[in-house]
């Protein structure tokens, strides 16, 4: 089991695709920070600059726009990187590597847990890397509750990985699993509107739809910590993420233990 975890972590660290995704998210963070800093002195109203319009609400004057952008992008990154797990396991299934692994002494459940742990460790480390990057390079403040940030990130990584493996176990081919998973993350990101300054004050159908996305619970938790709130304020966020992750894990285990999973 430890050998599988070690092998997967080495492959993740050496993967050019993973490195490219991390670099792209870092560049995106830098771009958003440059745009938001242009309007950092504005406390309310709207500012127009060419084709760009940035709206800053007075009641969020103490909360920098760049902080909200950083929280939103890190949330998307954590969920999006779950696709790493989908790709690894689904590809090995397509190449009949899992069939050979099943013939060994390690059980199916231990194999799945090994992939979940290795993928979770990689996403967690790269997620914290993005946060440190935001702090050192961009001066983004993540709040005073380090414990809250860690617990929320762990919850986000857990639900991301479990959802990814549930998709992998449900769909027969790697292309279908990766494609559907990526589409779900994109749709959730669209409805959660992490880069919309009005998102927190929304009411009606928009507010209801936001609460059905994982991005909302992860992003709003980061925003609460950044705003100076304690860990207690993000307990509902953590519970929603953990419960969703447990449900997805049960789905993954059910399909993964079926005899024809690797076919």
Structural domain boundaries, residue 132: 2-256
Q: Is residue 183 part of a domain?
A: yes
Q: Which pLDDT score is estimated for 50? A: 42
Q: Is residue 6 part of a domain?
A: yes
Average pLDDT over residues 174-183: 82
Q: Is residue 75 part of a domain?
A: yes
Q: Is residue 262 part of a domain?
A: no
Total domains in the chain come to: 1
pLDDT at 246 over 90: yes
pLDDT category of residue 193 using cuts at 50, 70 and 90 = low
DSSP the chain: -HHHHHHHHHHHHH-HHHHHHHHHHHHHHHHHHHHHHTTTT--SSEEEETTEEEE--GGGTTS-HHHHHHHHHHHHHHHHTTHHHHHHHHHHHHTTHHHHHHTSSS-HHHHHHHHHHHHHHHHHHHHHHHHHHHHHHH-----S-HHHHHHHHHHHHHHHHHHHHHHHHHSSSHHHHHHHHHHHHHHHHHHH-TT-TTGGG--THHHHHHTTSHHHHHHHHHHHHHTT--GGGGHHHHHHHHHHHHHHHHHHHHHHTSTTTT-
pLDDT category of residue 220 using cuts at 50, 70 and 90 = confident
Q: Which of 23-32, 187-196, 197-206 has the lowest mean pLDDT?
A: 197-206
Give the tens place of pLDDT for each residue, 47-87: 444 434 444 444 344 456 778 788 888 999 998 888 776 77
Q: Is residue 29 part of a domain?
A: yes
Q: Is residue 182 part of a domain?
A: yes
Q: Is residue 261 part of a domain?
A: no
Q: Is residue 34 part of a domain?
A: yes
pLDDT at 105 over 70: no
pLDDT at 11 over 90: no
Mean pLDDT (the chain, rounded): 77
Q: Which pLDDT score is estimated for 58? A: 40
Average pLDDT over residues 242-251: 91
Q: Which pLDDT score is estimated for 256? A: 73
């Amino acid at each position: 089991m430890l050998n599988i975890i070690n092998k997967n972590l080495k492959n993740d660290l050496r993967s050019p695709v993973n490195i490219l995704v991390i670099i792209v998210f870092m560049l995106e963070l830098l771009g958003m920070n440059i745009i938001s800093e242009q309007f950092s002195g504005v406390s309310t109203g709207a500012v127009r600059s060419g084709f760009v319009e940035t709206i800053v609400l007075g009641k969020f004057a103490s909360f920098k726009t760049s902080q909200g952008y950083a929280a939103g992008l890190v949330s998307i990154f954590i969920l999006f990187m779950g696709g790493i797990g989908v790709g690894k396991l689904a590809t090995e299934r397509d190449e009949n590597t899992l069939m050979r692994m099943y013939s060994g002494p390690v059980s199916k459940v231990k194999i799945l847990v090994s992939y979940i742990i290795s993928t979770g460790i990689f996403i967690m480390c790269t997620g914290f890397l993005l946060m440190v990057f935001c702090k050192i390079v961009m001066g983004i403040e993540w709040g005073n509750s380090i414990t809250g940030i860690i617990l929320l990130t762990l919850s986000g990584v857990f639900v991301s990985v479990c959802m990814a493996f549930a998709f992998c176990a449900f769909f027969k081919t790697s292309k279908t699993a990766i494609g559907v998973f990526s589409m779900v993350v994109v749709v959730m990101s669209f409805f959660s509107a992490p880069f919309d300054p009005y998102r927190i004050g929304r009411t009606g159908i928009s507010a209801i739809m936001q609460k059905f996305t994982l991005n909302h619970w992860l992003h709003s938790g980061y925003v609460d910590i950044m705003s100076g709130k304690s860990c207690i304020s993000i307990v509902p966020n953590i519970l929603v993420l953990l419960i969703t992750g447990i449900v997805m894990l049960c789905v993954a285990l059910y399909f993964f233990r079926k005899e024809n999973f690797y076919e």
